[in-house]
Structure 1
Amino acid sequence: MSVWPSIRGRWKQGWKESTGGSLQQPQEDYEALRDRCLKDHCLFEDSSFPATQSSIGSGPLLQKLPPHLQWRRPPELHSNPQFYSTKAKRMDLCQGVVGDCWFLAAVHALTLHQDILSRVVPLNQSFTENYAGIFQFWFWHFGKWVPVVIDDRLPVNEAGQLVFVSSTYKNLFWGALLEKAYAKLSGSYEDLQCGQVSEAFVDFTGGVTMTINLVEDPINLWGILNKTTYSRTLIGCQTRIGEERVQENGLVDGHAYTLTAIRKVTCKYGPEYLVKLRNPWGKVEWQGDWSDSSRKWELLSPKEKLLLLRKDNDGEFWMSLQDFKAHFVLLVICKLTPGLLSFEVGQKWMYTMQEGRWEKGSTAGGRMKSSWIGDAMWGNTFWKNPQFLLSIWKPEEGRQSPGTCSLLVSLLQKPRHRCRNWKSRLAIGFYVFRHYNDRRKLPAEFFWANAPLSWPEAFLKEKEVNRELWLEPGTYLIVPCASETALFVFLFLQEIVEQNEEQNEFFTKFFAKYPEINAIQLQKILNRMTWSSLGNRQPFFSFDACQGILALLDLNASGTVSIQEFRSLWKQLMLYQEVFHKQDSSRSGLLDWVQLQAAVMEAGIVLGDDVCQLMLLRYGGPRLQIDFVSFVLLMLRAVNMENVFQNLTKDGKGIYLQKPEVRLPPRSQLSLVR
């Protein structure tokens, strides 16, 4: 499995001036504050982010607020308030009057990865057990995971309706409280008024983002989406910049969306490439081809239409890749793994982080003064910039060796004020040089004689700039540039491939030979793979099991699945082996009833006790234990049935059929319920 490097240090801060002029957060001990409130029988009130106008801000946001704004706690707003519910659909949040669609788009992407969501939003918090009006969230803030503590007083109008983020389930409040915590981290609700999806992605994951300009019509966009959607990535996108208004086609100008899925479908005239998007408003959808009311859906098989189409004004919709490129300008991808390279297992990152400071007059040496790179015409102060040495080697050999290595370099500038929007960001960038001696600080003469291997095409006023490089083993010099005083963080991530070369060669040859895979070929692939998380108990996929898997994936009844569909399956299998391994504490290769229920829930499906028992009877052995292959079959069917239910239900609670509608499903749909 791909592994993301861990730098999960706890950071206790205080609202004080740091050495670089950046302001830090208050030192707040969540457990101590909660325990004190419980002891004193009182509810927490956050003095550092009070229930007053100062926490909302002093700008244009104030004009959007309703008259007689009040602050209320969730138990005052609902008779049965809940912090979070696994039974609710994942994307249940709707944007309020704050213009933070970029934040909500990132949150919706986060909900597609339960383990990452629970890292940001501790899901064991509630309004009943040990309730003291205090909640805690975690954000990745410039190299460290930062806890943010808030009280649960939320802005509401006179009718008791939330003014900012709300949930379609009126008794759920995790989204509103998450927004409040992020507003506190940013300075105020006003400071969420404008931003970029990439910024929130980084704050939620510590990942590294890449932005694709769709206006330039990138080559092989479908291939890029293919690789990102099956790996652990978060994906957002943005329409053309402008005043936030709804166009005739249902899209909103100057608006961020979440990309939630892609699908290659088979129409009567040939293949069609679709993307699925979600509007953070929770309503207002695309009205063109492949929208909820489009006649294009009649070109698909009944089974494919049943699984994909959901006629509900919930802000989520499908559109063709061609229309997507025509109406969206930016695609933002947050990498949580080596992703974008291949779907093989065994890839890791080697992670290095450095912090530094640009000081005007000393270490803020600025960029080069001339575009004449060949003769290194540099400004007189460029050499004064901070300099970082970086060694690249082949980790699997433990020494330098021929061949290039993948390196991801990310430069982040820290905010220069407590409120993120009060001071504009600097234009930043970095250069990469080959380094041949042991000197730590190189003089101006080095830059006169050596041209950079990589340099920024443009200096950007962004929170983060990054570049993926392919470098030979050796020592390199990284020089970050800015013109004024500021703090920054450098992240260096070198890809380590711990792969079985024979397995690599097998995949390359197999997929070149078979663009479509039948049950026999699927069996060959799955039994050839090394399931790293399962240790010595490698599973065996029978032909019957592979036929069952194929029936669930084969939406157009062709008897095969495409490579794209297999990649989607592979993403699910990687998740299933992780949760199976986590719950199989005895390493027996089997799960009992309690372990199965925990594994299914962690994989994103909620089964009641009686249903879980039935699943063990159906898929388990005589001792009511289930092995990994049977667990895979159970999960794939459960996910399919949940999708069918969500597409048919009108209210999220049940499926209601009139008498003329009660008939056997078409034969092509029978595999859904077998």
Structure 2
Amino acid sequence: MAGEQKFSETSVQLTEAAPQTVGSGFTAPGNIYSAILSRNEAVKDARCLKDFQELRDKYVRKKVLFEDPLFPAQDSSLFYSEKFPLKLEWKRPSDICSNPQFILGGANRTDICQGDLGDCWLLAAITCLTLNDIVLKRVVPHDQSFTENYADTYWTNPQFRLVLLEADTKEKTCTVVVALMQKDRRKERCSGAILHNIGFAIYEVPNEMKGNQQQLPKDFFIYNASTARCKSYANMREVTERFCLKPGEYVIIPSTFDPHKESEFLLRVFSENRSTSEVIDAEIEAESVMDDVKKKIKPFEEEETEEEKQFKAIFQQLAGDDMQINANELRTVLNRVVAKHKELKTEGFSLESCRSMIALMDTDGTGHLNLQEFKHLWNKIKKWKLVFTHFDTDKSSTISSFEMRNALTEAGFQLNNQLYDIICMRYANEHMEMDFDSYISCLVRLEGMFRAFRAFDKDGDGIIKLNVFEWLQLTMYA
């Protein structure tokens, strides 16, 4: 039977390459035997690791790029008994081009080209490997690329659960054909659209997650290799692969090779015998939404911090006798303090953001904030600021669409893919990046809407009923 699924693919910003460790500390020995001893000393770490996957996962966790102890980036790796005749500069693939690809469209013998090194014997052996795909994958594991932390490229993309119920007749495995097609790209060619490089990976669902409706988390992709995948990412209208998988539960994750590529896709799964497939999306929830209407805000502690004293002085200066501030005054207070955080590189909060903050924290319906409400707001902003700086991995004072998803999750909000797309359209710029002001505005709106929904959801069934007045009141003052 065949199952069809339509989805909007959301690509993510690839994680920044971890800093490369410079120099291996290897000194060219004086003779062949000492070279062997030196290299054996360097390879002790590699010997204790069983296979490629374990070695790769270790370096992903350490966030350093792997350097082969048996083939260090030094001239002695090429010529150990005489002076090297050429001047070489050692580079990683990403130093040569901006979008390096490990194997594209499969490997063949014409891909191997001899250069000035004269290593024809080695290259002849490598060429033979390309003639047998099974042997090639034993020597060169196929589940790798030049994307250092490949786990981050998958876990935020759509996940499709596939359950293979019956093996093929007289077989122990199930024949499955997976076809990923990108839609409407040719129709949009007149507006500059081109075909994306698309592909997919298949992961077996672990026993503890079988039968549930939860997405595979990020850590799963760090410590588990894919069960199967398309041979390469290709800029074709459709990528199709045939697999033989044992009966069980799997997750298919489609994606583009490049970040920030969004389009409509069609994923089709064909199997000889019974199977089921469905989209697995995150359950919408907020973990730490404070209900300030029901919770009494604690007053300032007897021993105020220096920051609280500064805030209190500015607040009293602007608030006047009623000790309350409006949106303009709130903007002045916040921007004076935020300006001291040079690492944010922000121009400060907009007036619209400050209006939303007052709507969130205004517990008495005055349209103003008192000192205690203001303190509680600032504590939230400080917590959200820590999350922002943590996920601003490139220190640009912006977070990408990918980093935004992680940041919202860390802040306590679990959303589905459609909501993430809406948030990107509403709060990100044309480069799919969100600055600090937009980020805080997004969190303020999310918390306010979650809180309002829970206030109306009296019986906790996840459904509310509003009349037009309640709806307008809820949406207009937010």
Structure with the greater alpha carbon radius of gyration: 2
Relative to the length of structure 1, the TM-score reads 0.27
Relative to the length of structure 2, the TM-score reads 0.36
Is the helix fraction higher in 1 or 2?
Answer: 2
Larger RCO: Structure 1 or Structure 2 (Cα < 8 Å, ≥ 6 residues apart)?
Answer: 2
